[in-house]
Amino acid sequence: MSMVAEHAKWPKENDIIFSLSERAQAAEKELGKDKVINATIGALMDDNGKLIAMKTVYDQLKNLPNEEISAYASIGGQPAYQEAVKKVCFKGNDPEGYIRVVASPGGSGAIKLAMYNYTNENDVVLVSDWYWSPYGIIGEETKRGVENYALFDESGNFNIDSYSEKFTEILNRQGRIFTIINSPGNNPTGYSLSDEDWDKVLDLAKEAAKDKDKKIVFLVDVAYIDFVRDDDASRKFFKKFGNLPSNILTIVAFSMSKGFTAYGMRMGAAIGISSDEDITEEFYYSLMHSCRANWSNCNRGAMAVLSEIVADDKKYEEYEKEKNSYKDMLLVRANAFVEGAKECGLEILPYRDGFFTSIPCDNPMKACEELAKENLYLVPLKMGLRFAVCAVEESKCKKAPAIIKEVLDRI
């Protein structure tokens, strides 16, 4: 028997990442942490496998007056938070034009707001073939599908030809396109578009936008932007979204989850950028309507944490110092994994930034099960395996590729 409405019938399955993570934790308990490599978790863990919660962030939270945590917030977010979001996201690389910010529960909330308000029922959104699966889940909840382009060409570069082909096909079919680009530090690959890649993407959009009946929306998912090699260089691309034709709208999905180790606080924002003020006003009020319809307002305490840190130069500096120490830790681990892969000849996708790296393979489910027998747990994707360098200490990152290579060669 079923009680749910037709649109709410979904397969009864648990999130595969969370169940693999539980199996890895059970193995750690049974065999000891040193015997198990748990590369399933999408959060920064210290070398002992404990979740990192930044001191500068949580000291600030605990210093807030109770009322500042307890009170309702404005639906679009507190004004100080909206300003703070622009500051930490763009770091001085603000695109020219009109910009409005709507608070959301995490980057996920921003993606939901953007996708719902800028696609019609039965539309598809364009994402790469290596993509974060919740994009599909967020879409299917309200009858939006996904179509893919190949992220990489044969030389491992951004595949502009594939992007261009799918972009044009969908835009001609639907008259509008909503395309998600998760960069820098793409989940699951660790790839970051270069400035030249962005130029090619935007040249294509500008050409298509000459037809004023066409509507083009970029959703730029920057969930991992605080874990890039070069903070400033990695933000230069934001400038490119300035002064675009008015039928191109850019929405940046900002998240406090990774950059502030605030995963459970559920705070983010959708940032709308346009050369046309009416378009950003429309963005603001359409998204606010959805906020009201879904969750009303967001976590006021989390907003205050960001606003207070950003408003005080000393606090911001201390936060940056702490965050950068974890960024350095992450890079050491990622380098160890890339080096280990090179040494044993394991093919991996080009890693640049962020929490993850991926290994292409034919039978990811089977590979995962076989690797679990070697006490190495990672996440199966459609086209390969995802290894979370954010959660695994350096020496394990170094030795994991050889274990993976041995299993992939054998199955």
Ligand X SMILES: Cc1ncc(COP(=O)(O)O)c(C=O)c1O
For ligand X, the closer CB: 31 or 51:
51
User: What single string gives the DSSP state of each residue in 219-233?
Assistant: EEE-TTTTSSS-TTG
For ligand X, the closer CB: 97 or 184:
184
Q: Binding to ligand X (CB under 6 A): which residues in 126-155?
A: 132
Segment near ligand X (CB under 6 A); pick from 55-63, 84-92, 100-108, 198-206: 100-108
Q: For residue 207, what is the enclosing H or E element? A: helix 195-208
Shortest Å distance, C-beta 274 to ligand X: 22
Segment near ligand X (CB under 6 A); pick from 48-56, 94-102, 255-263, 332-340: 255-263
For ligand X, the closer CB: 27 or 378:
378
Q: Evaluate whether 349 touches 152 at the Cβ level (below 8 Å).
A: yes
For ligand X, the closer CB: 119 or 257:
257
Shortest Å distance, C-beta 307 to ligand X: 18
Distances in whole angstroms, Cα of residue 99 to Cα of each of 226, 281, 290: 21, 9, 19
For ligand X, the closer CB: 247 or 257:
257
Exposure string for 320-332, b = 16+ CB within 10 A, e = fewer: bebbeebbebbee
Q: Evaluate whether 408 touches 358 at the Cβ level (below 8 Å).
A: no
Pairing of the two strands 124-128 and 145-149: parallel
28-47 footprint of ligand X as x/- string (CB under 6 A): --------------x-----
Q: Which of 58, 98, 263, 284 binds ligand X (CB under 6 A)?
A: 263
- CA nearest neighbour of 385 among 188, 137, 135, 131: 188
Q: Which of 183, 187, 261, 297 binds ligand X (CB under 6 A)?
A: 187
283-322 footprint of ligand X as x/- string (CB under 6 A): ----------------------------------------
Closest residue to bound ligand X by CB: 106
Q: Which of 108, 192, 275, 297 binds ligand X (CB under 6 A)?
A: 108
What six digits make up the tokens of 374? 């070697």
Q: Is 221 in the site for ligand X (CB under 6 A)?
A: yes
Segment near ligand X (CB under 6 A); pick from 17-25, 102-110, 269-277, 280-288: 102-110
CA–CA separation, 55 vs 318, rounded Å? 10
Diameter of the chain measured on Cα atoms: 63
Segment near ligand X (CB under 6 A); pick from 81-89, 105-113, 171-179, 239-247: 105-113
Q: Please name the residues in contact with 392: beta carbons below 8 A apart, sequence gap of 6 or more.
A: 37, 38, 39, 45, 333, 400
Q: Please name the residues in contact with 364: beta carbons below 8 A apart, sequence gap of 6 or more.
A: 380, 381, 382, 383, 384, 385
Residue 6, helix vs strand vs coil: helix
One-letter amino acid of 175: G
For ligand X, the closer CB: 133 or 168:
133
For ligand X, the closer CB: 119 or 183:
183
Q: Is 106 in the site for ligand X (CB under 6 A)?
A: yes
Q: Which of 223, 244, 273, 385 binds ligand X (CB under 6 A)?
A: 223
CA–CA separation, 247 vs 209, rounded Å? 6
Binding site for ligand X (CB under 6 A): 42, 106-108, 132, 182, 187, 221, 223, 255, 257, 263, 268
